[in-house]
Amino acid sequence: MWDEVWRERAQCRFSSPDAMFVQGAAQHEAKRVCYGCPVRTECLAAALDDQIAFGVWGGKTERERRALLRRRPNVTSWRTVLETAREEHALVSAQTGVELAVRAG
């Protein structure tokens, strides 16, 4: 389920506001904060849809986000793309879980 108030659950809300707006190699350090973030997908979708140019969002540096935007220039809603991908992944995971449970007897 898509979290409409994702900012309230952002892992980085415990960090300094400037921590995600660093440059160069420090961005890779900043990305570590995102790894365990429960709203990473929502955050990335917002950054891509709003074409936010600076900072680490959704575990991606500005350079990585630009690459995504270049790779998929026809996407009009990254939220739709990422939400659909997450739902499909959950469905496959659930099916796999059921199949493994059936096999285990």
Cβ 60 to ligand SF4 shortest distance, Å: 9
Please give the residue ranges that form the binding site for ligand SF4 (CB under 6 A): 10-12, 20, 33-34, 37, 39-40, 43, 56-59
Q: Output 16 or 74, the one with its CB closest to ligand SF4.
A: 16
Which residues are within 8 A (CB) of 34 and not within 5 positions of it... i.e. 6 or more apart?
Answer: 11, 12, 40, 43, 56, 58, 59
Q: Output 35 or 104, the one with its CB closest to ligand SF4.
A: 35
Cβ 96 to ligand SF4 shortest distance, Å: 26
Q: Output 50 or 99, the one with its CB closest to ligand SF4.
A: 50
Cβ 43 to ligand SF4 shortest distance, Å: 3
The three-state secondary structure class of 18 is coil
CA dist 30 and 13 (Å) reads 13
Which residues are within 8 A (CB) of 9 and not within 5 positions of it... i.e. 6 or more apart?
Answer: 3, 38, 39
